[in-house]
């Protein structure tokens, strides 16, 4: 429902008082709205922008499939025309001898290698253009009976005696309109406003992550080489010192490319152009540079700072935070959109119980689950970033899992694989085992650093020192073919019948 195409009075009909107000129309907001509408509640969703709109976070996880089934969108997504994703690959460049071409260690994670009951009948995910994906979810919510109003900016959640009772919001009929102000009363308020996190800011709940302080630059590109066959939809993560680069193959030859760096790597980024940062980094790496040989920017290259955060409280009397409004960890495990779906599913169950029992007691269980969920994802991300300080540590992890993981096909690794594919609130004991392994590798890298006086990345930087031509490419210029190093592309087969 687009306000520019509506009579204002029609848009306002029936919004003075509803059961639930959802602030934000992204995956979290659309999903919790659909779940609640399916249970017979009168739901109003207020979205401050007009869909479709750009959003980062294109790589989805297969553990979302059961939730999509419950939402009723699984079949739509399967025929949505997006890229099918059957796995993920992690890479680390290794130093090349003078007589050798540059190479890399890698591990490939296959989505079908999990406990059979964990993932359902669709053992894959998608790489999506978020503007299209998010709009599909929003329109699906409308079809299920949710009243959706776009260009509706919520300015305040209203409280009475400590309980959330409504929202104050404004609606612009067009860009020239200063906006008309409205007040809607509700039995429950859900903040799904994403990184803007309306309620967390209003109640001063938001906290930065104490361990990981990352920033990202990202954009869409045409002309980037990608894998062939079933691996063509895989996301590729290439690790660097204190940072990593993602390559996400989208439809029509489009590739999402992003660089995520932990502090202090990104401290000077605010003084540089995002595209310069991204191209300079990629063209300085002997493995990634050939992939970018013919890359052409499509649209704007953007930057986001201060990525990780969480709220010290995610629920209270009459209100709740879901998705990015509650916490965001890092893009490393492509967890953002799946967190939106899983928290919205849990939130809808808790809200339904609250409204039926006329008690806010169920919110305590949601808050406890949400905090454990955040701790498990953030704890794992923190350990992987520590490994990236030392090339030997992260390279050993990637090489060992790639060589001896046997495609992760054993009792223990199946469960770790399932955790990494989105079962973040399960397999706690197996996860602790993985944490111990990562901690030991970190100590191994640190010990080598203390004994040798170097981190191991020095030899990579020496071999990958950018030439004058590659520096020209960082500014958008062409790079002669003979100035680039030929990449080694590893191909692998997968047996989907197992």
337's CB contacts (< 8 A; 6+ apart) are: 27, 57, 60, 61, 64
263's CB contacts (< 8 A; 6+ apart) are: 213, 214
Structural fold of domain 3-54+61-73+128-207+309-376:
FAD/NAD(P)-binding domain (3.50.50)
**What is the Cα 215 distance to its own chain's centre?**
13
Find the DSSP H helices in 39-90: 65-71, 74-78
Nearest Cα neighbor of 146 from 16, 48, 14 is 14
- What pLDDT was estimated at residue 113? 83
Q: How far apart (Å, rounded) are the C-alpha atoms in residues 196 and 52?
A: 18
Lowest-confidence pick of 191-195, 334-338, 351-355, 491-495: 491-495
- pLDDT tens column, 347-366: 999 999 999 999 999 999 99
84's CB contacts (< 8 A; 6+ apart) are: 124, 126, 233
pLDDT band of residue 497 (cuts 50, 70, 90) is very low
Lowest-confidence pick of 62-76, 163-177, 343-357: 163-177
- pLDDT tens column, 269-303: 999 999 999 999 998 888 898 888 889 999 999 99
Q: E strands, 223-316, where?
A: 235-240, 243-249, 254-262, 296-304, 309-311, 315-316
| pLDDT(426) > 90 | yes
- pLDDT tens column, 443-481: 999 999 999 888 888 877 655 544 433 343 333 433 333
Nearest Cα neighbor of 463 from 92, 99, 102 is 102
Bridge partners for 248 per DSSP: 256
Using DSSP's 3-state secondary structure scheme, residue 379 falls into: helix
Backbone angles phi and psi of 31, in degrees to 5: -70, -50
| pLDDT(12) > 60 | no
pTM: 0.88
Q: How far apart (Å, rounded) are the C-alpha atoms in residues 47 and 148?
A: 8
Using DSSP's 3-state secondary structure scheme, residue 349 falls into: helix
pLDDT band of residue 408 (cuts 50, 70, 90) is low
Domain ranges in the chain are 3-54+61-73+128-207+309-376, 87-123+213-307+388-491
Using DSSP's 3-state secondary structure scheme, residue 409 falls into: coil
Helix (H) or strand (E) holding 420: helix 411-420
| pLDDT(232) > 80 | yes
Lowest-confidence pick of 238-242, 418-422, 471-475: 471-475
pLDDT band of residue 406 (cuts 50, 70, 90) is low
User: Per the structure block, which two tokens stand in for 343?
Assistant: 């928290």
**Averaged pLDDT for residues 173-183:** 70
pLDDT band of residue 135 (cuts 50, 70, 90) is very high
Angle between helices 391-404 and 428-452 (to 10 degrees): 130
- What pLDDT was estimated at residue 466? 47
383 vs 478, which has greater pLDDT? 383
């Amino acid at each position: 429902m687009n306000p520019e195409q509506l009579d204002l009075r029609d848009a306002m009909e029936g919004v003075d008082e509803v059961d639930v107000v959802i602030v934000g129309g992204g995956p979290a907001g659309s999903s919790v709205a659909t779940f609640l509408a399916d249970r017979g509640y009168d739901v109003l969703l207020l979205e401050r922008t007009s869909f479709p709109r750009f959003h980062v976070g294109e790589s989805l996880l297969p553990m979302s499939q059961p939730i999509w089934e419950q939402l009723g969108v699984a079949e739509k997504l399967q025929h949505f025309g997006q890229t099918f994703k059957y796995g993920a690959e992690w890479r680390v460049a290794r130093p090349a001898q003078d007589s050798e071409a540059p190479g890399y260690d890698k591990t490939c994670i296959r989505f079908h290698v999990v406990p059979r009951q964990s993932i359902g009948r669709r053992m894959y995910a998608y790489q999506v253009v978020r503007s299209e994906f998010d709009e599909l979810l929003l329109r699906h919510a409308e079809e299920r009976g949710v009243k959706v109003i776009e260009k509706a900016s919520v300015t305040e959640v209203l409280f009475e005696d400590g309980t959330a009772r409504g929202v104050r919001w404004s609606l612009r009929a067009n860009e020239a309109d200063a906006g008309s102000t409205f007040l809607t009363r509700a039995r429950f308020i859900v903040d799904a406003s994403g990184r803007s996190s309306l309620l967390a800011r209003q109640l001063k709940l938001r906290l930065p992550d104490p361990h990981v302080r990352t920033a990202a630059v990202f954009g869409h590109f045409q002309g980037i080489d990608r894998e062939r066959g079933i691996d063509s939809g895989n996301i590729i993560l290439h690790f660097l010192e204190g940072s990593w680069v993602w390559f996400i193959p989208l439809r029509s030859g489009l590739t999402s490319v992003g660089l995520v760096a932990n502090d202090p790597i990104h401290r000077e980024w605010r003084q540089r152009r995002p595209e310069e940062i991204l191209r300079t980094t990629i063209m300085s790496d002997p493995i990634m540079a050939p992939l970018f040989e013919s890359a052409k920017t499509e649209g704007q290259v953007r930057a986001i700072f201060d990525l990780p955060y969480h709220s010290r409280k995610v629920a209270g009397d009459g209100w709740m935070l879901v998705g990015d409004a509650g916490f965001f960890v890092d893009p490393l495990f492509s967890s953002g959109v799946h967190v939106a779906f899983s928290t919205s599913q849990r939130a809808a169950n808790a809200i339904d119980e609250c409204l039926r029992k006329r008690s806010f007691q169920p919110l305590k269980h949601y808050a406890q689950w949400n905090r454990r969920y955040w701790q498990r994802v953030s704890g794992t991300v923190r350990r992987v970033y520590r490994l990236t300080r030392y090339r030997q540590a992260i390279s050993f992890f990637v090489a060992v899992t790639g060589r001896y993981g046997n495609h992760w096909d054993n009792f223990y690794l199946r469960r770790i694989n399932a955790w990494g594919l989105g079962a973040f609130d399960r397999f706690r004991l197996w996860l602790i085992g993985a944490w111990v392994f990562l901690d030991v590798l970190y100590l191994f890298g640190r010990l080598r650093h203390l004994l040798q006086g170097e981190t191991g990345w020095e030899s990579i930087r020496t071999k990958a020192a950018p030439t004058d031509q590659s520096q020209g490419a960082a500014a958008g210029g062409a790079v002669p073919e003979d100035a680039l190093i030929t990449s080694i592309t590893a191909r692998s087969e997968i047996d989907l019948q197992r």
